[in-house]
Amino acid sequence: ETVKRFIALYTKDNRRRAVEEALGRAERYRPMMTAALRRAKLPEELFWLVMTESEYKMKAVSGAGAAGLWQFMPATGRKYGLEVSYWVDERMDPEKATGAAVKYLKDLKEWFGDWHLALAGYNRGEGGVGRDMQFTRSTDFGTLSERGILPGETQNYVPKFMACVLLGEHPERYGLKPAAEAPEAFEVALVERDLDLEVAAKAAGTNLETMKRLNPELRAWCTPKGRSYNLRIPAGSKDAFFAGLSKVAEWNPGPKVVMHKVQKGEFLGKIAKKYRTTVRAIITHNELRNPKSLRVGQVLRIPPGKAFK
């Protein structure tokens, strides 16, 4: 009955379009993700877990700090081999995050021996579900749900996933007409030192927006300093890319954006003055809806003014 309720919710007029768009985005990632699941001998239906987590929005970030298609928290991401640093957040990398998710899901299935409990663990954390099982002395997801031990979000998570599987595998059954988006073709170029993304875009014959879309894990204006990096560039552009780079004297002329962690007592005017920029520029770069609601520890992207050094 809960699965039916979610299907009804997702196919209502006010949600239908968003669901169709999500199912369309799913096709960008389906070949890569299902291949990874097959290699790990996991059910291919787990592909639809991403619908439950992020609706296939590559840069999705939750209020709790989970990020990327698979919505990893920083600690869990690092545990499964993802770099989360000043320069790189591999939770945003579709391929690397999928590899980490496959490992995590395989571990969850081995720990719990049951897919319903494993999926609940993906949402709540294996420790939380383990404590719930110990408290109730139950090894069955249905019993845990009936006794109201699981948090409401986790209790609904498994039936929500089931609804997503049904909608994703048979959209026509439910009157959905998603427009499939094709995977974006790219190739990988090994750059030996830090490279400004605008310089990279010009060398590859593309624009900055495309470079950022192909490399969503990069958090700064350039590839990580002090090391080589496998940079994604548009398919068929590798020769032109390296030829263009060979003519560039300065690969990394300087930051277009710097990261700033908000400290106690700081406000936008004070931060703007520090970086010789404007409050409006900071608001625009961070899409701040309420500029007066800065939080201590919040990280802002700052476009520094020309006088900033």
The DSSP 8-state label assigned to residue 92 in this structure reads G
Helix (H/G/I), strand (E/B), else coil: 102:
helix
At residue 274, the pLDDT reads 87
At residue 27, the pLDDT reads 97
**Contact 260/299 with Cβ under 8 angstroms?**
yes
Strand partners, 142: none
pLDDT in tens, the chain (309 residues): 989 999 999 999 889 999 999 999 999 999 999 999 999 999 999 999 999 999 999 999 998 899 999 999 999 999 999 999 989 999 999 999 999 999 999 999 998 888 988 998 898 767 666 666 665 666 666 666 666 666 667 788 999 999 999 999 999 999 999 999 999 999 999 999 999 999 999 999 999 999 999 999 998 889 998 899 999 999 999 999 999 999 999 998 876 778 899 999 999 999 998 888 889 889 988 888 888 889 999 999 898 875 554
- Name the nearest CA neighbour of 150 among 188, 123, 177, 172: 123
- Name the nearest CA neighbour of 238 among 226, 230, 227: 230
At residue 111, the pLDDT reads 87
